[in-house]
Amino acid sequence: MCITGSKSMERVNQTKIVSEFILLGLSPRPEDQKPLFILFLTIYLATLAGNLLIILVIRSDPHLHTPMYFFLSFLSLTDICFTTTIVPKMLVNFLSEKKTISYAGCLTQMYFLYALGNSDSCLLAVMAFDRYVAICNPFHYVTIMNHHRCVLLVTFSCSFPHLHSLLHTLLLNLLTFCDSNVIHHFLCDLSPLIKLSCSSTFVNEIVIVTEGALVLVTPFLCIAFSYIRILITVLKIPSAAGKRKAFSTCGSHLVVVTLFYGSIFYVYLQPVSTYTVKDHIATIVYTVFSSMLNPFIYSLRNKDLKQGLRKLISRRNI
């Protein structure tokens, strides 16, 4: 009886000791690794340069010290951190034969993936609310979107997601991994990790379906509500020029929201059991491509940012 018990305890202890995971990445073929390394290094450098430039332009131009650009600067900062959580490890793995990540490193990456990704989501909702107030309630815009309220909105957007991420990380840490440590992904995401567990994942899946879906969908519903109200208000404007001006302030934000939420809903609004390799492309879009494209989308369609960029460049040339 004692021997059986000791063997059982030994087996449990063995199954709980997972020191590292293997990230299979985007392609198993050796000839693809260097081209992928060059591609993602270029994307990463473009992301850093573009978002840092947005922050510098906004900070250096007093005319851009408004709520809309205040939120945009924090979105750019979050995008830099978000991409840095993912891409550097990808670059290392592209050039490494042993594509491993430690257990603690994997959980840390997942924590920041969800914390920063949901911060992006909340900031996009806050920016939609800002446009709603500017267009639907312009006479009270200055009092509603005062500096104190803007700071509170940014603080909430960047802090609440950490509680959400901590919950899922702690629940994942309670699982047992014994069958395999091979992750069919290029990063440590919740769904492929849950699929590796040999213990019950019932609680994890319930929390994902309830709390996870609530945190994911609520900012999107706020954005949808804001734009419905904006659309109703804009359609009441008699002049075509007035309508174009109102829509022009929202165009860039709508493109970013569509890119971000289109890919993120495709990945996460499905059962954990149906998660496949095909979801990699959608994951790349919201984790890597959207962070790179955001500065270009906002700057190309924004006269104020273009003017601020010209001022910054001319100041450096003096």
Gap between the Cα atoms of 293 and 285, Å rounded: 10
Per-residue model confidence (pLDDT) at position 9: 44
Taking 50 as the pLDDT cut, the residues of the chain under it are: 1-16
Per-residue model confidence (pLDDT) at position 140: 94
Per-residue model confidence (pLDDT) at position 146: 95
Per-residue model confidence (pLDDT) at position 28: 85
Residue 216 near residue 121 (C-beta atoms within 8 A): yes
* Helix pair angle (290-300, 240-268), 10° resolution: 180
DSSP letter, residue 289: I
Residue 101 near residue 188 (C-beta atoms within 8 A): yes
Gap between the Cα atoms of 127 and 12, Å rounded: 49
pTM: 0.89
Report which of 75, 82, 10, 87 is spatially closest to residue 41, judged by C-alpha positions. 87
Residue 128 near residue 223 (C-beta atoms within 8 A): yes
Gap between the Cα atoms of 226 and 24, Å rounded: 41
Per-residue model confidence (pLDDT) at position 273: 60
CA 199 to chain centre: 29
Per-residue model confidence (pLDDT) at position 95: 92
Tally of CB atoms within 10 A around 310: 12
- Ranges of H-type helices in 236-289: 240-268, 279-284
Gap between the Cα atoms of 296 and 94, Å rounded: 27
Per-residue model confidence (pLDDT) at position 11: 44
Per-residue model confidence (pLDDT) at position 55: 95
DSSP letter, residue 177: B
